Structure 1
Amino acid sequence: MANSIQELLIEKTVEAVSTLYGSEIPAEQISLQETRKEFEGQITVVVFPVTRFSKKSPEVTGTEIGTYLQQEISEITAFNVIKGFLNLSFSDDYWVNLLNDTILTESFAQVPKNGQKVMVEYSSPNTNKPLHLGHIRNNLLGYAVAEILAAAGYEVIKANLVNDRGIHICKSMLAWQKFGEGQTPESTGMKGDHLVGKYYVIFDKEYKKQIEELKAAGQSEDDAKKNASLIKEAQAMLQQWEAGDEEVMSLWKTMNSWVYAGFDKTYKQLGVDFDKFYYESDTYLLGKDIIQEGLDKGVFFKKEDNSVWIDLTAEGLDEKLVLRGDGTSVYITQDLGTAQLKYDEFKMNESIYVVGNEQDYHFKVLFAILKKLGKEWAQGLFHLSYGMVDLPQGKMKSREGTVVDADDLMQEMLDTAQQRTEELGKTEGLEEDEKAALYQTLGLGALKYFLLKVDPKKRLLFNPNESVDFQGHTGPFIQYTHARIKSVLRKADYQKDAKKVIPATISTFERDLIQAIAGYPAIIAVAAKEFSPAQIANYAYELAKLYNKFYHEENILKAEDEDVKQFRLHLSAAAAKVISGSMKLLGIQVPERM
């Protein structure tokens, strides 16, 4: 429904309460919603908040308000009251004019900038291994949230904090030094991130061998883990890195450059991008000034060993270490510093961290500390926590048998899309390059839609075969609907600037479709407010279902007269535009033909 009718209904309902009951009700207490399908009407006014002014039953109050609204708003043709819900029906002219005057304009769903700036930080990979299935959900969520916020009028900065230092990076470097025999991405033909990941796995295998040998010689498991020569060498390498050792730094830069080249290919294939990169190697020393600031303010306290802590028991959390006794940082130290750095650089109103739910406690602590330090911008910090992604056992092979590699998964999706599309005969008349592009669009669309249609907080089971279904609640179903609409428009030689027509009457299917399309801006607003791409994904699916009902019930190309045909073509074009736009917000392309 268009904002204008909503605003008018709220304004007139406030007026009705004043006129009928001599009371003033705040406009924000008037609640509108779409009428449930089992009842007559299209827009519902929730009457319950008004009964405290009317001092009458919800049914009587609803009838009185409905009578008033029908007299005041010419587009309302009828109303009914079910308990505390006032269901309003609108004239065919209202819906046709809504299509012609609002939906078919270039400015439909174009929101002006709201002057608010928001940073969305996502991906945050480690440079010791390739991206995996969990990273895919992270990247898709972050990218989609950023696109939705931009569509809702925000200025958005997409940020990536790369974990490019630490003991795990040194493990890969050391294993390559010991066992690599000079291998490079060029000499092996491997993507750089896969090559470095291979040596991370080799380190782990060799380290476990050493542990077993030391245990066989009589050491306890804990002692063996500490005394194994490999881990001691890795720790020594980390100390050399922190001291700026020239040889270690050179190897670190070289191997990281391999990984970044690999990541770039994965990001490009996945269709995500970033405006700003932060690197932990630049930020890990940040935060110490903030620790001193907190000590000066009495927010932090020191223990006998000189370590610095904060007591968050009043916030329902624990005591938290923020600086070790030897003066070295812990994760929270650098996160405090990085949060300050990001704010100093961009002065954003909100900052969203897209990080898995295993870090829930960490972010509660981080945000609580920043608030206690009096950082006003900390009110705008939000942890977009998401659940893990599981796969049906045995569906896919992974490099180490435990982690599903992102590149492997995307290739598997393209192969599955090709197989399913060819089985269904949906590639007739396409050239080979068109087929390859279609498999890419469908395979990645299936993957993205399946991961984004579920509320981010929920853990989900990703089934590759189920996701590439042209009939289910899937990306390909929506993509195929778009291709179907485009086929209709091509056959009719549709011109978008053709005359807007007003048919004598419209069907229920046409009205439902117009109402659904008109709801697109409101869905963007809700998705932005909730940081939930699932809102957009499920809206696109419902819209595609409504279009298919309309397509099967109403003759478009062979309509009874030219005006009706033209009206249905305009309606089809509007549906295609909104399906395409909503899928684009999810990072999903839609094909023009199939």
Structure 2
Amino acid sequence: MDFIVKGTLEAVKALYDAELKESDINLQETRKEFEGETTIVTFPLTRISKKSPEQTGNEIGAYLLENLPQVSAFNVIKGFLNISLSSAYLLDLFRKTILSPEFGDLPSNGKKVMIEYSSPNTNKPLHLGHVRNNLLGFSVSEIMAASGYEVIKANLVNDRGIHICKSMLAWQKFGNGETPESTGLKGDKLVGNYYVKFDQEYKKQIDELKAAGQNEDEAKKNAELIKEAQLMLRKWEAGDEEVINLWKTMNSWVYAGFDVTYKSLGVEFDQYYYESDTYLLGKDIIDEGLEKNVFFKKEDNSVWIDLTADGLDEKLVLRGDGTSVYITQDLGTAQLKYDNFQMDESIYVVGNEQDYHFKVLFLILDKLGKSWAKGLYHLSYGMVDLPSGKMKSREGTVVDADDLIQEMVDTARQRTEELGKVDGFSEEEKTALYRMIGLGALKYFLLKVEPKKRLLFDPNESIDFQGHTGPFIQYTHARICSVLMRADVAAPAFDGIADLSVVQRELILAISKYPAVVTAAAAEFSPALIANYAFDIAKLYNKFYHEEPILKEENADLRQIRLALSSATASVLKRSMKLLGIDVPQRM
């Protein structure tokens, strides 16, 4: 509403001979209980007018009504000046902006961003926590691309370390040579089973040592299994051929399994990084930091950084024996990513348990003088809980991503058939629809909540055709498509429309906000803004659908404007849901 802001500045100049900036004008959406579409808060302007908020509002409102053709009326409630927009302006907005083929297409901003998400470990299948990570990373990528960025979707795979060796060792000891082919299991699930098996056998050995008189800590260190796993890790790092070959074989099983899950979720990547390639990176950066006196050495030759002045603590960046710690590797990988792509921004989609780690990482890179460090951002998200409680992967109690997807599809099938929404569908069409609804419910439920918030995921609650859910929006889109398929849609004759109803005005204004919502969602890395916008549009359309006849309207001009509004609504719903990675059906 730039014209309202500019008109208000002109009013203040004309009425009170004062100069203000655009940022001085507080514009809000008019509250539902009052007439109007946009509201000017007049309290801050009383210092200039030297009059009451009400009188100030009436004077500015009268000026706008007289000087702005877009304004049709105003009312003042205490310190709030509510502005009603003319039907002519809204029809013009609909005709020239919303119905334009370019509506919603934002120009390139010339910036490049890398978004790193997923980052799985190759010792277990993807679970519910990974699902939120992947959906969040993919959606933010789509939103930023839509807002004008060039986007690189990256995946840093954690494919080395003691946890990987645990699965390898357990398979060696207890696997009897079984493979994904021989068992019929996805490779990631097969390997994950041996991670759980390691933990079970390890606990048995700990209990035996404790029974023999050792305390908990001693037993954990002295158990034969953990010693063997540590030896295997040392052999891996030394390049032992047998260990490396086993590692490659089991990782290949896991990657094949991951690919199936990624495809099911509808996520993808442009660039993969592997910890086995990057874990030695960062040592040059440590040397650079020592030269710049950013780091310091202790007597045992370990390298540290003192961040106490920044409200943090001292942080180890290299062990005394010269081996890397996580921060060493992450420093090197950050430099590698920038060297590869020279992006303006780099976003890490990682759970909030790593908040401190990323605060330290970004601060170190900034102190090292890396010009690109200011563009680093940790998109921290909360954990996902289930009604049954928290998940623990080493105990085998996680909710497997593939099982969850199948449960969602099965639930969608049951609900849809109960409501009789698939009459006349072929079996193939039904299968596709159930999958679309099930995945739509899952994705929407996880994305409608602000990323930082922890959430409780209830599969049953997520599939509701009347609630704040993905299926409600999908059903609304299908409803619109049904209307349009039964109509002879033509370009509306705007000259024949003198006025707009309240719900039409609301719908036009809401649809017109789509580009601004995309821009805001990109700036805040928040798919929740898109999700809630789509829900508001769907609710508004259903109100419009129930209040105003469309196909039964006898006046051709009115029927065509309502059809055009329906078509524009379907388009913005489809685009919004696509940014969430959700497909919408043509019929259901």
Superposition TM-score, scaled by structure 1 size = 0.96
What residue identity is the alignment partner of 2:59?
A: E
Secondary structure (helix, strand or coil) at the match of 2:466 reads coil
Deviates more, 1:502-511 or 1:332-341: 502-511
How far residue 396 of structure 1 moved from its aligned partner, in angstroms, is 12
User: Moved runs in structure 1, 4+ residues, more than 4 A?
Assistant: 394-401, 497-502
Give deviations 1:37-74, integer Å, cap 9, x for gaps.
11110012233443333333322222222222222211
Q: Is the 8 A contact 1:10 1:30 kept in 2?
A: yes
Q: Distance in 1 between matches of 2:150 and 2:273?
A: 19
- Does 1:91 find its partner at 2:86? yes
Give deviations 1:388-419, integer Å, cap 9, x for gaps.
11111299999955211100000000000000
How far residue 87 of structure 1 moved from its aligned partner, in angstroms, is 1.2
* Corresponding position of 1:573: 567
- Does 1:138 find its partner at 2:133? yes
From 505, 512, 537, the counterpart of 1:518? 512
Q: Distance in 1 between matches of 2:32 and 2:424?
A: 41
How far residue 243 of structure 1 moved from its aligned partner, in angstroms, is 1.1
Q: Distance in 2 between matches of 1:501 and 1:180?
A: 77
Q: Is the 8 A contact 1:450 1:475 kept in 2?
A: yes
Secondary structure (helix, strand or coil) at the match of 1:411 reads helix
* Corresponding position of 1:246: 241
* Corresponding position of 2:262: 267
| Matched ranges for 1:109-508 at <5 A | 109-393=104-388, 402-494=397-489, 502-508=496-502
Q: Distance in 1 between matches of 2:411 and 2:563?
A: 34
Q: Distance in 2 between matches of 1:245 and 1:99?
A: 68
Which ranges of structure 2 fall in alignment gaps of 5 or more residues?
none
Call closer, same or farther: CA 1:117–1:244 in 2, change over 3 Å: same
Call closer, same or farther: CA 1:411–1:563 in 2, change over 3 Å: same
How far residue 374 of structure 1 moved from its aligned partner, in angstroms, is 1.6
Q: Distance in 2 between matches of 1:118 and 1:46?
A: 37
Q: Is the 8 A contact 1:483 1:593 kept in 2?
A: yes
How far residue 24 of structure 1 moved from its aligned partner, in angstroms, is 2.3
Q: Is the 8 A contact 1:501 1:566 kept in 2?
A: no
Q: Distance in 1 between matches of 2:379 and 2:483?
A: 41
* Corresponding position of 1:40: 35
Q: Distance in 1 between matches of 2:137 and 2:79?
A: 40
Call closer, same or farther: CA 1:49–1:178 in 2, change over 3 Å: same
Q: Distance in 1 between matches of 2:527 and 2:496?
A: 35
What residue identity is the alignment partner of 2:376?
A: L
Secondary structure (helix, strand or coil) at the match of 2:397 reads coil
Q: Is the 8 A contact 2:133 2:350 kept in 1?
A: yes
What residue identity is the alignment partner of 2:279?
A: Y
Q: Is the 8 A contact 2:438 2:463 kept in 1?
A: yes
Q: Is the 8 A contact 1:210 1:228 kept in 2?
A: yes
How far residue 7 of structure 1 moved from its aligned partner, in angstroms, is 2.1
Secondary structure (helix, strand or coil) at the match of 1:77 reads strand
Q: Is the 8 A contact 1:399 1:405 kept in 2?
A: no
Deviates more, 1:203-212 or 1:263-272: 203-212
Q: Is the 8 A contact 1:414 1:443 kept in 2?
A: yes
Q: Distance in 1 between matches of 2:251 and 2:473?
A: 39
- Does 1:527 find its partner at 2:540? no
Secondary structure (helix, strand or coil) at the match of 2:336 reads helix
Q: Distance in 1 between matches of 2:145 and 2:165?
A: 39
* Corresponding position of 1:3: none
Q: Distance in 2 between matches of 1:27 and 1:508?
A: 29
Q: Distance in 1 between matches of 2:309 and 2:428?
A: 62
Q: Is the 8 A contact 1:13 1:69 kept in 2?
A: yes
- Does 1:562 find its partner at 2:556? yes
How far residue 139 of structure 1 moved from its aligned partner, in angstroms, is 0.6
What residue identity is the alignment partner of 1:354?
A: V
- Does 1:593 find its partner at 2:569? no
Call closer, same or farther: CA 1:399–1:191 in 2, change over 3 Å: farther
Q: Distance in 2 between matches of 1:398 and 1:358?
A: 16
What residue identity is the alignment partner of 1:556?
A: I
Q: Distance in 1 between matches of 2:302 and 2:163?
A: 25
Deviates more, 1:400-409 or 1:279-288: 400-409
Q: Distance in 2 between matches of 1:14 and 1:346?
A: 44
Q: Distance in 2 between matches of 1:399 and 1:470?
A: 37
Q: Distance in 2 between matches of 1:252 and 1:502?
A: 73
Give deviations 1:342-380, integer Å, cap 9, x for gaps.
112211111111111111111111111111112221111
Secondary structure (helix, strand or coil) at the match of 2:294 reads coil
How far residue 534 of structure 1 moved from its aligned partner, in angstroms, is 0.7
What residue identity is the alignment partner of 2:262?
A: Y
Deviates more, 1:461-470 or 1:343-352: 343-352
Call closer, same or farther: CA 1:180–1:360 in 2, change over 3 Å: same
Q: Distance in 1 between matches of 2:72 and 2:492?
A: 30
What residue identity is the alignment partner of 2:409?
A: L
What residue identity is the alignment partner of 1:587?
A: G
What residue identity is the alignment partner of 2:54?
A: E
Q: Is the 8 A contact 2:191 2:250 kept in 1?
A: yes
What residue identity is the alignment partner of 1:465?
A: N
Q: Is the 8 A contact 1:147 1:585 kept in 2?
A: yes
Q: Distance in 2 between matches of 1:191 and 1:219?
A: 39
Q: Is the 8 A contact 2:391 2:397 kept in 1?
A: no
Secondary structure (helix, strand or coil) at the match of 2:154 reads strand
Q: Is the 8 A contact 1:127 1:169 kept in 2?
A: yes
Q: Distance in 2 between matches of 1:211 and 1:60?
A: 80
Q: Distance in 2 between matches of 1:53 and 1:288?
A: 61
| Matched ranges for 1:23-34 at <5 A | 23-34=18-29
Call closer, same or farther: CA 1:307–1:395 in 2, change over 3 Å: closer
Call closer, same or farther: CA 1:493–1:38 in 2, change over 3 Å: same
How far residue 431 of structure 1 moved from its aligned partner, in angstroms, is 0.3
Q: Is the 8 A contact 1:41 1:79 kept in 2?
A: yes
- Does 1:17 find its partner at 2:12? yes
Give deviations 1:228-272, integer Å, cap 9, x for gaps.
111111111111111111111111111111111110110000011
Call closer, same or farther: CA 1:206–1:546 in 2, change over 3 Å: same
Q: Distance in 1 between matches of 2:229 and 2:150?
A: 43
Q: Is the 8 A contact 1:398 1:405 kept in 2?
A: no
Q: Distance in 1 between matches of 2:258 and 2:348?
A: 20
